[in-house]
Amino acid sequence: MTEPTRDSDTIEPPAGGTTHFGNRTVEAVEKEGLVRQVFDRVASRYDLMNDLMSGGLHRLWKDAMVAWLSPPRRRPWSVIDVAGGTGDVAFRVLDRAPGAHVTVLDINQEMLDVGQMRAGKRSGGEAGRVAFLQGDAQTLPFEDASFDAYTIAFGIRNVTRIEDALSEARRVLKPGGRFLCLEFSQVTAPMLDRVYDFYSFNAIPAMGRLVAGDAESYRYLVESIRRFPNQAAFSTMIEQAGLRRVRHRNLSGGIAAMHSAYKF
């Protein structure tokens, strides 16, 4: 069993061209390819595994995210959902706000293909309200001030240079635009902490092996969760990127947290 670690009170910048890939130290340039391989391998089982691993909780967390986002129901509103994968956040925004247009951007075409297929199966005049686009969170292919909102769910911890992704978020937001991030975070309840560690480092890789035939990818996902900055440290990073009015809300005792901020 890999021991859980969390470096979340300090933000560890990649030193000497290296960074973390789960608990391994790799060259920063290597990480993107490794992350891509993980999501290539898990794409077809990604939605099923999310349900199994979280006991369906991820659905409630994404509901909570879109409820806090609170997209206006009638007027046109443009959202970029970065690392949007198979479209879970995008579809929730579309269901809630008929005036919204969502651009789902992800580095991994396999994940986007699953999302595109799901979009095709949904009924109700959505054509033209959602677009799927391959791209990198660290260099967004959009002009400054393009979007009313920027969302990212369970994506930012996979990015090699989180600072660059945050700075890009600020750049593409219109003045007054909203940033909202949902990510695994630091459990705040002590007993829950132990149960969660045991579950994460034993049950999740085992489930990955059984259901997706791939324990390694799921081990990476768990390790990357533990390496991610805690609530306070991530708030500081968001502020350092120039976003303002940073607030967070914990979900399920801090297993996940949402961070909200604005561009002024």
| Binding positions for ligand SAM, rule: CB under 6 A | 35, 39, 82-86, 88-89, 106-108, 111, 136-138, 153-155, 158-159
For 108-133, the three-class secondary structure string (H helix, E strand, C coil) is CHHHHHHHHHHHHHCCCCCCCCEEEE
Which residue is at the shortest CB distance from ligand SAM? 85
| Tokens 């967004």 -> residue | 140
| Identity of the residue, 85 or 229, whose beta carbon is nearer to ligand SAM in the bound complex | 85
Q: How far is the CB of 100 from ligand SAM (least distance, A)?
A: 17
Closer by beta carbon to ligand SAM, 109 or else 189: 109
Please, which residue, 60 or 189, has the CB nearer to ligand SAM? 60
- Three-state DSSP state, 246: strand
Least distance from ligand SAM to the Cβ atom of residue 138, Å: 6
**Residue (89 or 212) nearer to ligand SAM, CB:** 89
Smallest gap, in angstroms, from Cβ of residue 105 to ligand SAM? 6
CA distances (Å), origin 148, targets 52, 72, 79, 104, 193:
33, 11, 6, 14, 36
State in angstroms the smallest separation of the CB of 145 from ligand SAM: 20
Q: Which is nearer to ligand SAM, 158 or 230 (CB)?
A: 158
Closest to ligand SAM by CB, 82 or 166: 82
What does the alpha-carbon distance between residue 84 and residue 189 come to, in Å, rounded to a whole number?
29
Cα separation, 36 vs 45, in Å, equals 15
Residue 224 C-beta: closest distance to ligand SAM, Å: 9
Task: Please answer whether residues 243 and 170 qualify as being in contact, where contact means their C-beta atoms are separated by less than 8 angstroms.
Answer: yes
Q: How far is the CB of 192 from ligand SAM (least distance, A)?
A: 22
Q: Which is nearer to ligand SAM, 120 or 190 (CB)?
A: 120
What is the C-alpha separation between 61 and 156, in angstroms, rounded? 16
Side by side, the strands of the sheet bearing 256-262 are: 130-134, 100-106, 77-82, 147-153, 173-184, 256-262, 244-251
The structure tokens 């089982």 sit at 45
Residue 150 CB, shortest distance to ligand SAM, in Å, is: 12
CB 175, CB 146: distance < 8 Å: no
| 215 phi/psi in degrees, rounded to 5 | -75, -35
